[in-house]
Structure 1
Amino acid sequence: MTTNERKTISLLSLSHFFCHVAILTFPAILILLKEKFHVSFATLGIIAGIYLFLFGAGSLPVGFIADKINKNFLLKVYLIGMSLSAFLAALSGNFYIFAVFIILMGLIASIYHPVGLSIMSFVKTDKLRGFAIHGIAGTLGVALSAAFAGFLGYYFGYSAPYLVLGLVFLFIFVYSFFVKIESNKIENIKNRNNTINNINSNNNRNNNSNNNININKINSNSDNNYENYSESKNVNLLTNIKSFFNDFFHRNIVFIFIVEFLNGFVFQGVFSFLPAYTGIKLKNFLFFHNQTVAAGSFYVTIALLVGVLFQYSSTYITKRYKPNRVFSVLVLISGIFILISGLTGGLILFLSILLFSAFDFSINPISNLLISRNAKEYYRSTAYGIFFFAGFGLGSIAAPIGGFIASSFRLSDAFVFYGIIALISFVISIAITNYNVDEAEAI
């Protein structure tokens, strides 16, 4: 990797790590907030639901916006926005004012994934390794967030984690000015517009439209091999939308989005109930003795750390095998182990949870790579926005569905259900081919 690519990955990895730390600080200090402000768990749950939904759903419009303006600018907006909202939350003495800034933090945090992943996709040297490092940083943020927020909150009060987060994001914001961000060039956006105009003009001719569109062919661009055309006149909104769908969606990327929704569904469902499930089933396992909460927290932390260790391994596997096939196999194996976890207990349950985490987290860098190979450069942010929305936004319905299953039947049945969904995801993933949109355009 070049020096600048290493700096870019460092900047994005820090941003990714603290994105997840910030998002998971609120649930980590829930008890402190309840005692400090004398509010119910129901109220705290509503606040958590709102900001987590915005965290996932906000990535969809951000993705579209990021393809039209400077990604470096949006990254800076994210960093300074997180810093300010964290400071304001820390300084809020009233719960409802505090809640407003927590919700704002969830919305601002939604900027990161479509922007950060899009910037990552333009790393030219060993892209998969870059995605793996970036993914590991995020997973570490998830794994260590409880310890970070719990320690600071316990010893220094509920506001301490947010004060520290405000300072950290401010530091990263300053650091971002010393890193040259490389992403899609402005001429690629122009080419996209010219290409769409060309498609529009062809559609209008085919439909015997009365609009006369003057097409002037100009020099081809070496970056994406598209021919540039002058702007067409009187292109209506519906035609633009149709052109976008024709230019953006293809068979492979649709299957990737579907599989990501199912994988995100499984991930969010499993980790929503894993502390409770392992705490109940393994409260007397290893060195625990009827310590449900402590046991559950311990097993989940270990599972997440195992996921971190194995996440990097996929970079080696894909050097020997096609990434789409590795992707499918990992989805299958992770599904099998989560299915086993719902049917067993004791040592087998413990091992199945660890192995699920190992294989499931190994999927992450490959799925990011598949998006970069299947989305055109000028639609990368849009693609990652839809991708993140599918996994985290739509996937968030897994928790209430799992809760309904657990209430109506048993908690273990929810894990069996998630395992079945993972196997369905595997079947669909088989349809994903080893397609590369850049290579296809070059032919």
Structure 2
Amino acid sequence: MALDSNDRSIAGFTMAGHALVHWFETSIPIFLVVWLDTFDTGVALFGQVVALGYALFGIGALPSGILSDRYETKRLILACLAGMSGAFLILSFARSVYAIALALVLWGVAASIYHPAGLALISTGVEERGTVFAWHGIAGNAGIALGPFVTATLLVVFEWELVAALLAVPGVLAVLYGLSASFDPTAAVDDDVDASPDEALSVSELFAETRTLFASAFAIVFAIVMFEGLYYRGMLTYLPEILHGLEAMASFAVPASLEGIEPADYIYVGLLVVGMAGQYAGGKLTDRVAPARGMIAIFAVLAVLAVAFVPVTGMGVVAIAALCGAFGFFLFSIQPFYQNAVAVYTPADSRGLSYGYTYLGEFGFGSASIAIGGFVLGGFSLAAFFALIAGFALVGGLLAGGLLVGSGRLATDAREIEAEADD
């Protein structure tokens, strides 16, 4: 079914926002390499500086979700785009580690706004939600792949300060585009449901809404997203290093004309590009497959792929590239399913809060796998690392099974709690 004009307008606006969040996010590790060479500072301190920005990106999702239920989502997304662009302009003037830290903190705070606001806007304003989730995910993957590629390419020609300023230009253009965009943010909500911005929550109201959410099927959705985040962060953080260390990569003959090209890097970028197809397929399937059923199937595939990685490493570069392509497809195809699950299992008037908790689980708690995975890789074998990753997928699949069989009872419990709160 073709998108109507309102769906298309929201799709274009949120796709631009989603691409740019990840455009900025994935450029930072490329800058880190340059900063370590430029400043007389150890990797430990700079790692903490970068981690601070990323931590705020995840932790800020919850307060951003609260704001998304109280203020117009379009304005919040525009503030996000302006804030991220401004942070990178500040970064372009940084001359010390502390100035870089300030810029990254500002970026993390601004970036944390996007996912709760953008997904809340899609969930309440778009009729063809699955299709728009698919295109939205593809845009995010485009930003993930282009961010490091464009940054690395520009750094070949320009100083890092100018590159930071140049990366802010698309964000400024997106703000100008967003100011002219026109759409109905509640077009997909029934007339008898109030999904318009409300007054700010009191602390007691916030606890009441949170209690209602976590007494419903959303509690299982949150746990599912957390384990998906553990799989996602662990895989994408350590896979480049793992690929570089494989014997098959070291022995792969690169033509003299391509000297300096690392096959591992291009396999990793290829994984991210294939993820676009996964996002699209997953988004289209959310219109046909129940969220829980889709997540059960994809988690099962992800577990098998993780277990298969070590045996495949002995089969050569082509086999490794094929496995990584499968990783990319299924790793990103699950995202539209859990995004849609939030929309299915939460009320429209608390959608922003729901997505705030969702991305606290994805980017906040999910980041724990960076520490856990590093410990396992440092003290145990590669097989142990992938067994850990497979375990995250297995737990996610079991939770999705629980969502499939238990969502009706949890929804009843939530209604009873909400009724008690109203009394």
Normalising by structure 2, we get a TM-score of 0.86
Q: Is the 8 A contact 2:22 2:143 kept in 1?
A: yes
8 Å contact kept, 2:271–2:324 = yes
Counterpart of 1:362 in structure 2 is 333
How do 1:235-254 residues align onto structure 2 when only pairs under 5 Å count? 238=204, 240=205, 243-254=208-219
Q: Deviations over 1:9-29 (max 9, x none)?
A: 112111111111111212112
Q: Taking structure 1 as reference, are residues 184 and 318 closer, same or farther at Cα in structure 2, changes over 3 Å only? A: closer
1:225: Cα distance to partner? 8.5
How do 1:178-217 and structure 2 match up within 5 A?
178-184=180-186
1:112 aligns with 2:114: yes
Gaps of 5+ in 2: 196-200, 416-423
Choose the corresponding residue for 1:223, options 176, 192, 210. Answer: 192
Q: Which residue of 2 aligns with 1:232?
A: none
Listed one character per residue, the Cα deviations across residues 225-274 of structure 1 (whole Å, up to 9, x for unaligned) are: 99xxxxxxxx9965x45632454334421111101000100110011110
What is the letter of the counterpart of residue 249 of structure 1? F
- Give 1:278's aligned residue: 243
Structure 2 partner of 1:255 = 220
Structure 2 counterpart of 1:357, which letter?
A: G
Residues matched between the structures, number: 395
The answer as to whether partners of 2:299 and 2:394 remain within 8 angstroms in 1 is yes
> C-alpha deviations, 1:331-351, integer Å up to 9, x for none?
111121112114441344433
CA RMSD between the two structures: 2.7
Change in 2 beyond 3 A, CA 1:181/1:117: same
* Displacement after TM superposition at 1:317 (Å): 3.2
Moved more, 175-184 or 133-142: 175-184
Residues 148 and 225 (structure 1), Cα distance of their counterparts in 2 relative to 1, 3 Å cut: closer
One of 293, 300, 314 as aligned partner of 1:325: 293
Q: Secondary structure at the match of 2:192?
A: coil
Give the superposition deviation at 1:319.
4.2
Q: Residues 93 and 6 from structure 1, CA distance in 2 versus in 1: closer, same or farther, beyond 3 angstroms?
A: same
Shift in Å, 1:37: 2.3
Is the Cα–Cα contact under 8 Å of residues 119 and 181 in structure 1 kept in the other structure? no
Give the letter for the 1:86 counterpart. Answer: F
Instruction: Go from structure 1 to structure 2 and tell me whether the alpha carbon gap of 1:236 and 1:179 turns closer, same or farther (over 3 Å shift).
Output: closer
Secondary structure of 1:182 counterpart:
coil
More helix by share: 2
Q: Which whole-Å CA distance do the structure 1 matches of 2:164 and 2:277 have between them?
A: 28
What TM-score, normalized by structure 1, do the two folds share? 0.82
Of residues 128-137 and 88-97 in structure 1, the stretch that sits farther from structure 2 once superposed is 88-97
Matched, 1:72 2:41: no
Q: Provide Cα deviations, 1:120-178, integer angstroms capped at 9, x if missing partner.
A: 11233311110111111111211222111111122111123321232221111111111
Q: What is the CA deviation profile of residues 52-73 of structure 1, one whole-angstrom value per residue up to 9, with x for unaligned ones? A: 1111111111111221122222
The 8 Å contact of residues 56 and 388 in structure 1, kept in 2 or not, is answered as: yes
Match of 1:371 in 2: 342
Report percent identity of matched pairs. Answer: 22
CA-to-partner distance for each residue in 1:22-53, whole Å, 9 max, x for gaps?
11212112222122223222222111111111
Q: Is the 8 A contact 1:152 1:160 kept in 2?
A: no
The 2-side partners of 1:314 and 1:111 are apart by 24
Q: Pick from 92, 95, 106 the counterpart of residue 93 of structure 1.
A: 95
> Which one scores higher on RCO, CA 8 angstroms, separation ≥ 6?
2
Shift of 1:375: 1.4
Q: Deviations over 1:291-345 (max 9, x none)?
A: 9992332221111111112221124434443332122101111121112114441
When Rg is computed on C-alpha atoms for both structures, the one with the higher figure is 1
Q: Which residue of 2 aligns with 1:214?
A: none
Maintained 8 Å contact 2:222/2:361: yes
* Structure 1, unaligned runs of 5 or more: 189-220, 227-234
Query: How far apart, CA to CA, are the structure 2 residues paired with 1:285 and 1:118?
Result: 48
- What is the letter of the counterpart of residue 37 of structure 1? F
2:161 equivalent in structure 1: 159
> Which segment drifts farther, 16-25 or 405-414?
405-414
Q: Which residue is equivalent to 2:275? A: 307
Contact 1:276 1:292 in 2 (8 A): no
Partner of 2:36: 34
Q: Which residue of 1 aligns with 2:124?
A: 122
Who is 1:265 aligned against?
230
Distance, in Å, in 2 between the alignment partners of 1:398 and 1:236 is 34
Matched, 1:14 2:22: no
Asked if the contact 2:56/2:112 (under 8 Å) is kept, the reply is yes
Change (3 A) 1:354 1:178: same
Deviation at 1:179, TM superposition (A): 1.1
Q: 1:222: how far off? A: 4.0
Structure 2: distance between partners of 1:368 and 1:100: 31
Q: Are the aligned partners of 2:296 and 2:401 in contact in 1 as well (CA < 8 Å)?
A: yes
- Alpha-carbon distance in 1 for matches of 2:366, 2:57: 12
Distance 1:268 1:293 in 2: 25
Pair 1:341-2:312 in alignment:
no
User: Cα–Cα, structure 1 residues 52 and 10, in superposed 2: closer, same or farther, change >3 Å?
Assistant: same
Whole-angstrom CA distance in 2 between matches of 1:344 and 1:18? 35
